[in-house]
């Protein structure tokens, strides 16, 4: 029996993780290990300066007082004792397109699996989880089965985004450009002290036939293979020509 670790960044009580755990139960034995509260936008943070508490909520379901990355870490090493065939993260409430992947706790959960050399997939539903998730659930089961059958290789993962259902099909994509309004809202708290709230709405979806942003705009399920190695090969070659680095 394949052993699958399920996490997410919306917390162990989110609807998305329940749907994903159910979808994974069709292809393997499921362990759910996830933050005890919402951790969206936490990226790949690890909790190193304070202890983690793990609570067993029911058979093979554990909440962790930490991040998605902490959850995968303790899930793989402690709870599943390194016997893991697949790590999945999601289904996130909202997009993880383009540069969203750098902020995303959902994608980070899958990245952590990949760092442990376990195949990994991140799932996100647009615009949120208040839609029919049956299509996302069916596709999650299918792609998990396919990843377990085929070798995607280490240091890689798949980033899956679902458009508002029904989807027109599936598209293999690359990361597009998905900037947001950069807002800092200033307000006063009940004690009269100023506080600030950052983050605005998405203002642009790159229109490029290869981009994940375009696939979603056109109503397709987007599947983007990601790599952990962020080295820019072309820049490496051109920097070697700089005098500073011994070039001529």
Which of 44-52, 90-98, 198-206, 233-241 is the region at the interface with Mn ion (rule: CB under 5 A)? 90-98
Output 42 or 215, the one with its CB closest to Mn ion.
42
Q: How far is the CB of 42 from Mn ion (least distance, A)?
A: 9
Output 127 or 153, the one with its CB closest to Mn ion.
127
Q: How far is the CB of 9 from Mn ion (least distance, A)?
A: 4
Residue at shortest CB range from Mn ion: 40
10 is a site residue for Mn ion (CB under 5 A) = yes
Q: Which of 7, 43, 92, 222 binds Mn ion (CB under 5 A)?
A: 92
Which of 84-92, 108-116, 139-147, 165-173 is the region at the interface with Mn ion (rule: CB under 5 A)? 84-92
How far are the Cα atoms of 96, 180, 211, 231 from residue 177, in angstroms, in the given order? 11, 10, 8, 19
Alpha-carbon span 198 to 152, nearest angstrom: 37
Write down how long the chain is: 248
Query: Is residue 91 reached through a cis peptide bond, with omega within 30 degrees of 0 on the bond before it?
Result: yes
40 is a site residue for Mn ion (CB under 5 A) = yes
CB atoms within 10 A of CB 210: 14
How far are the Cα atoms of 3, 51, 159 from residue 19, in angstroms, in the given order? 17, 29, 17
100 is a site residue for Mn ion (CB under 5 A) = no
Alpha-carbon span 80 to 36, nearest angstrom: 19
Q: How far is the CB of 41 from Mn ion (least distance, A)?
A: 7
Which of 22-30, 74-82, 86-94, 227-235 is the region at the interface with Mn ion (rule: CB under 5 A)? 86-94
- For the segment 115-134, give every residue that binds Mn ion (CB under 5 A): none
Q: How far is the CB of 46 from Mn ion (least distance, A)?
A: 18
Q: What one-character-per-residue DSSP string does 135-200 give?
A: HHHHHHHHHHHHHHHS---TTEEEEEEEPSSSP-EEEE-B-----B---EEEEE-TTS-EEEEE--
- For the segment 18-37, give every residue that binds Mn ion (CB under 5 A): none
Q: Which of 5, 6, 7, 9 binds Mn ion (CB under 5 A)?
A: 9
With H, G, I as helix, E, B as strand and everything else as coil, classify residue 49: coil
Output 27 or 136, the one with its CB closest to Mn ion.
136
Contacts of 201 (CB under 8 A, 6+ apart): 180, 181
Q: Report how many residues bind Mn ion under the rule CB under 5 A.
A: 4
Chain residues binding Mn ion by CB under 5 A are 9-10, 40, 92
């Amino acid at each position: 029996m394949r052993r699958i670790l399920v996490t997410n960044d919306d917390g162990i009580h989110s609807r998305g993780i329940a749907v994903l755990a159910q979808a994974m139960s069709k292809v393997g034995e499921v362990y759910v290990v996830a933050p005890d509260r919402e951790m969206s936008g936490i990226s790949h943070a690890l909790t190193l300066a304070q202890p983690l508490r793990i609570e067993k909520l029911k058979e093979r379901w554990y909440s962790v007082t930490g991040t998605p990355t902490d959850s995968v870490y303790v899930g793989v090493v402690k709870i599943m004792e390194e016997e893991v065939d697949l790590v999945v993260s999601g289904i996130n409430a909202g997009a993880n397109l383009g540069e969203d992947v750098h902020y995303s706790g959902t994608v980070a959960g899958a990245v952590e699996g990949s760092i442990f050399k376990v195949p990994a997939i991140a799932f996100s539903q647009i615009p949120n989880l208040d839609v029919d998730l049956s299509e996302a659930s069916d596709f999650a089961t299918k792609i998990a089965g396919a990843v377990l059958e085929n070798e995607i290789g280490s240091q890689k993962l798949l980033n899956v985004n679902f458009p508002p259902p029904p989807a027109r099909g599936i598209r293999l994509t690359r990361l597009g450009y998905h900037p947001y309004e950069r807002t800092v809202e200033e307000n006063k708290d009940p004690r009269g002290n100023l506080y600030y709230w950052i983050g605005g709405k998405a203002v642009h979806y790159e229109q490029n036939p290869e981009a994940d942003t375009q696939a979603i705009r056109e109503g397709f399920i987007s599947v983007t293979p990601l790599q952990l190695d962020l080295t820019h090969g072309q820049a490496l070659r051109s920097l070697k020509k700089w005098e500073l680095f011994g070039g001529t």
